[in-house]
């Protein structure tokens, strides 16, 4: 239980529940998402500063549709003051149903922009222009407001675009303030958090770091912590934070699995040894990984082999460390982020397994570690802010995500060291071109893929018969969905030109124009 003010968000299955959390945190208030099926007593126990009910795909009047327990509207804070509640779309409809109002299917479903014309003077709408654009996505509407409620804003189509209780701090909006298409949505959620709930708004990067450092020191005591360092954003920032908290009680293990990007093995070591003086064990296990992967073409099999090899390397390094220290390291730190946590607790349930993300997930069980996950509450960009505050170099903070199985998920068919080298060269040129054209930060992730096809080309007067690479660049917010990046032709052209000219063994370059879904970001 965190010791700062918390707004609790109950998730009714909306696609945009995470965005509500983002907006509340941007207002400087900590918040947590819980499934709508959580026991009401558990919510009361969290002692929330405010409660938000999210949207959801169902209709409240459907059989089995999730409802909200009326006792949640009676919660009080320490001084006996009522705990404010904001219902959004389905959340509003569930609130209305629980309090005696009525919800029915509307003849006019509403998707997209609507003009909010006029709103009452309430703290929720403080500072918001009387005429503002909102974003709607609903087929049901309130046909009767519960007793004591009144309309506080309307659109042409929705006379009850927002409602409020006459005397209690209960609010509902039919539109979605959390999406960017609602012009003043962020302000509305900020108003709810700060003006309606009277939260202090003191959830900042600095306060997070101070609080975590205290917590880590308390938990760890004089034990030792091991961290798998990949040089990616999450594990790098975790290393910096832990190092600040417990200094030389931290050992990082960085494994070269033969599938890292060009120069990465050296670069990461330099950054962490010289920049942070962190105890870093860099293990060149490329031979082990590549030999076990020889002749393996099936992507899932590759992932399993890589996962197991990571465990073997970790086991061996931990034994060495134990001998040196004279005692067993007790904790394993991981860069688990909030979206991973939400996915496993979401009302929608965990998503189907499309591919087994390798991670070092099997480690704690096998090696008997306790887990330390300092970023369980954070989103990626919050981790980036923490990293910046801790002095982690910009070159690491800005990095695109890089999967643990590395180039293995980008070499189709069996992997050889020669192919990995070929791909590394093409990948380096591609990222270099994105950097020099100033487009690297506009895309969420970019990389090259080595295809298992050869085709005929002509270079000079010679016939070539060589491999093809496909370039990928996507825009995304969380990797769950993605679109291919509409990069300028000149950037694509220059990258293609350089790859074909500079990388011996590649005579053709393609650009992937598929979105996710139905494709995925990686090829494998
Ligand atoms: N080469 C490696 N050596 C040691 N540990 C690794 C390696 N690759 C991955 N890991 C471990 O697996 C975890 C999960 O990898 P993941 O790619 O999700 O996170 P990351 O690399 O820290 O950040 P990013 O998502 O920005 O790449 C890492 O945090 C790290 O602990
Ligand atoms: O840490 C990781 N371990 C993995 O095993 C793994 N597989 C894919 N990815 C990354 O996840 C995001 C979504 O990828 P896909 O659309 O290909 O599933 C993309 O950002 C991928 O790079 C992984 N990350
Ligand atoms: N976006 C939502 O929360 C939709 C709620 C409900 N299913 C409706 O259509 O009105
Ligand atoms: Mg990574």
Domains of the chain: 6-196 (3.40.50.880), 205-397 (3.40.50.620), 416-511 (3.30.300.10)
Any idea which residue has 């080595």 for tokens?
A: 450
| pLDDT of res. 27 | 95
Q: Examine the pLDDT at 404 and tell me if it is beyond 90.
A: no
Q: pLDDT-based confidence at 348, cuts 50/70/90?
A: low
Residue ranges lining ligand 2, Cβ < 6 Å:
355, 357-359, 401, 403-405, 409, 445, 479, 516, 520-522
pLDDT at 330 over 90: yes
**What is the three-class DSSP state of 137?**
strand
Short-list 104, 100, 196, CA closest to 148: 100
**Res 354 pLDDT > 80:** no
Cβ of 56 less than 6 Å from ligand 3 = yes
Residues 139, 155: Cα–Cα separation, whole Å: 15
Q: For ligand 3, is residue 172 a contact (CB within 6 Å)?
A: no
- 259-263 LR contacts (CB < 8 Å, sep 24+): 259/286, 259/289, 259/306, 259/405, 259/406, 259/407, 259/408, 259/415, 259/420, 260/231, 260/406, 260/407, 261/402, 261/406, 261/407, 261/424, 261/427, 261/428, 262/424, 262/425, 262/427, 262/428, 263/428
Rounded Cα distance between 313 and 360, Å, is 11
The answer on pLDDT for 492 being more than 70 is: yes
Residue 440 has pLDDT above 50, yes or no: yes
- 36 carries an active-site annotation: no
- Classify residue 389 by burial, with Cβ atoms within 10 Å: 0-12, 13-18, 19+: middle
Q: What is the CA(490)–ligand 3 centre distance, in A?
A: 44
What span, in angstroms and rounded, lies between the C-alpha atoms of 147 and 354? Answer: 48
Question: Does the pTM of the predicted model rise above 0.90?
Answer: no
Tokens describing residue 447: 């990389």
Q: List all residues 6 or more positions away from 162 whose beta carbon is below 8 Å from its beta carbon.
A: 116, 119, 124, 125, 151, 152, 153, 171, 172, 173, 174, 175
State residue 5 phi and psi, 5-degree precision. -60, 140
Instruction: For residue 335, give the ligand nearest its CA.
Output: 1
Q: Which atom of ligand 3 is nearest to the CA of 91?
A: 3
* CA 103 to ligand 3: nearest atom: 10
Query: Mean of the pLDDT values across residues 438-456?
Result: 96
d(CA 18, CA 178): 9
- Cβ distance 184 to 128 under 8 Å? yes
403 CA closest ligand 1 atom index: 17
Q: Which alpha helices (DSSP H) does 368-510 contain, by range? A: 380-389, 394-397, 417-436, 489-502
Catalytic residue among 119, 141, 176, 358: 176
| Residue 393: count of CB within 10 angstroms of its CB | 14
Q: Beta strand pairing status for 85-88 and 225-228?
A: unpaired
Which pLDDT does position 349 carry in this prediction? 43
Minimum mean pLDDT range among 246-250, 389-393, 515-519: 515-519
Closest CA to 314 of 414, 404, 416, 420: 404
Q: Whose CA is nearest to atom 8 of ligand 2?
A: 403
Q: Check whether 192 has a pLDDT greater than 70.
A: yes
Query: Ligand 1 mean position to 10 CA, how many Å?
Result: 31
Does 236 belong to an annotated binding site? yes
DSSP class of 222:
T
Q: Is 256 in the pocket of ligand 3 (CB under 6 A)?
A: no
Residue range 417-438: mean pLDDT, rounded: 97
The C-alpha atoms of residue 425 and residue 502 are separated, in whole angstroms, by 8
Ligand 3 centroid distance, CA of 404 (Å): 38
User: Around ion ligand 4, which residues have CB less than 5 A away?
Assistant: 230, 232, 402
Residues above pLDDT 70, as percent of the chain: 95
Share the mean pLDDT of the chain.
Answer: 92
Higher pLDDT, 425 or 19: 425
Give the per-residue pLDDT at 365.
66
Annotate 153-174 with three-state secondary structure. ECCCCCCCCEEEECCCCEEEEC
CA of 105 to the centre of ligand 4 (A): 46
Closest by Cα among 81, 59, 246, 202 to 139: 59
Cβ within 8 Å of residue 504, ≥6 positions away = none
Q: What is the DSSP string of 270-333?
A: HHHHHHH--EEEEEE-HHHHHHHHTT---HHHHHHHHHHHHHHHHHHHHHHHHHHHSS---EEE
**Torsions phi, psi for 523 (to 5 deg):** -100, 150
- Write down the ipTM of this complex: 0.89
Spatial distance between the Cα atoms of 425 and 448, rounded to a whole number of angstroms: 9
Please give the distance of CA 461 from its chain centroid, rounded to a whole number: 50
Band of the pLDDT at 347, cuts 50, 70, 90?
low
Q: How far apart are CA 148 and CA 119, in angstroms?
A: 18
176 in active site: yes
Classify residue 176 by its DSSP letter. Answer: -
Dihedral sign (CA 482, 487, 492, 494): negative
pLDDT band at 343 (very low <50, low <70, confident <90, very high): low
Residue 352 clears pLDDT 90, i.e. is over it? no
- Residue 231 assigned to a binding site: yes
Non-local (6+) Cβ contacts of 255 within 8 A are 228, 283, 285, 310, 313, 314
Strands 131-144 and 85-88: unpaired
Active site residue 110: no
pLDDT value of residue 110 = 85
Q: Which pLDDT band holds residue 145 (cuts at 50, 70, 90)?
A: very high
Is the distance from the beta carbon of residue 407 to the nearest atom of ligand 1 less than 6 Å?
no
Closest ligand 2 atom to 405 CA: 5
Q: Can you tell me the distance from the alpha carbon of 409 to that of 405, in angstroms, rounded to the nearest whole number?
A: 6
What are the distances in angstroms from CA 369 to CA 273, 331, 394? 25, 5, 31
């Amino acid at each position: 239980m965190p010791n700062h003010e918390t707004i609790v968000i109950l998730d009714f299955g909306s696609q945009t529940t995470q965005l509500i959390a983002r907006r509340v945190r941007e207002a400087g208030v900590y918040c947590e998402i819980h499934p709508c099926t959580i026991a009401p007593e558990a919510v009361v126990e969290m002692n929330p500063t405010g409660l938000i009910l999210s949207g959801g795909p169902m209709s409240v009047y459907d059989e089995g549709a999730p409802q909200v327990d009326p006792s949640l509207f009676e919660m009080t804070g320490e001084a006996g003051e009522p705990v404010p509640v904001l219902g959004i779309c389905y959340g509003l409809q569930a609130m209305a149903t629980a309090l005696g109002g009525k919800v029915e299917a509307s003849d006019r479903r509403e998707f997209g922009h609507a003009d909010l014309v006029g709103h009452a003077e309430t703290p929720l709408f403080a500072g918001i222009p009387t005429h503002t654009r909102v974003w709607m996505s609903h087929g049901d509407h309130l046909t009767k407001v519960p007793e004591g409620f009144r309309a506080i804003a309307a659109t042409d189509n929705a006379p009850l675009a927002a409602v409020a209780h006459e005397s209690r701090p209960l609010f509902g909006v039919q539109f979605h303030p959390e999406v960017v298409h609602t012009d003043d949505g962020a302000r509305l959620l900020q108003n709810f958090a700060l003006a309606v709930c009277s939260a202090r708004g003191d959830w900042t990067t600095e306060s997070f770091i101070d609080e975590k450092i205290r917590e880590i020191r308390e938990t760890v005591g004089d034990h030792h912590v091991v961290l798998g360092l990949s040089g990616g954003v999450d594990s790098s920032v975790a290393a910096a934070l832990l190092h600040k908290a417990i200094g030389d009680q931290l050992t990082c293990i960085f494994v070269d699995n033969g599938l890292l990007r060009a120069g990465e093995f050296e670069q990461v070591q330099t950054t962490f040894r010289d920049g942070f003086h962190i105890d870093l064990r860099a293990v060149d296990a490329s031979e082990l990984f590549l030999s076990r992967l020889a002749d393996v073409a099936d992507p899932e099999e590759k992932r399993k082999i890589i996962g197991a090899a990571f465990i073997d390397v970790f086991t061996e390094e931990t034994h060495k460390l134990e001998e040196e220290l004279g005692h067993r390291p007790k904790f394993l730190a991981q860069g688990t982020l909030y979206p991973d946590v939400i996915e496993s607790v979401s009302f929608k349930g965990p998503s189907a397994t499309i591919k087994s993300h390798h991670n070092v997930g099997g480690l704690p069980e096998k090696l008997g570690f306790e887990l330390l996950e300092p970023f369980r509450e954070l989103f990626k960009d919050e981790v980036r802010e923490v990293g910046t505050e801790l002095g982690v170099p910009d070159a690491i903070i800005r990095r695109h995500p890089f999967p643990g199985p590395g180039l293995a998920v980008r070499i189709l068919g069996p992997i050889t060291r020669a192919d990995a080298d070929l791909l590394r060269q093409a990948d380096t040129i591609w990222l270099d071109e994105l950097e020099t054209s100033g487009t690297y930060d506009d895309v969420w992730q970019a990389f090259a893929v080595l295809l298992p096809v050869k085709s005929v080309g002509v270079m000079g007067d010679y016939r070539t018969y060589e491999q093809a690479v496909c370039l990928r660049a996507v825009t995304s917010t969380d990797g769950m969905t993605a679109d291919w990046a509409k990069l300028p032709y000149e950037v694509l052209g220059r990258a293609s030109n350089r790859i074909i000219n500079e990388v011996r063994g590649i005579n053709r370059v393609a650009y992937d124009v598929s979105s996710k879904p139905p494709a995925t970001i990686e090829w494998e």
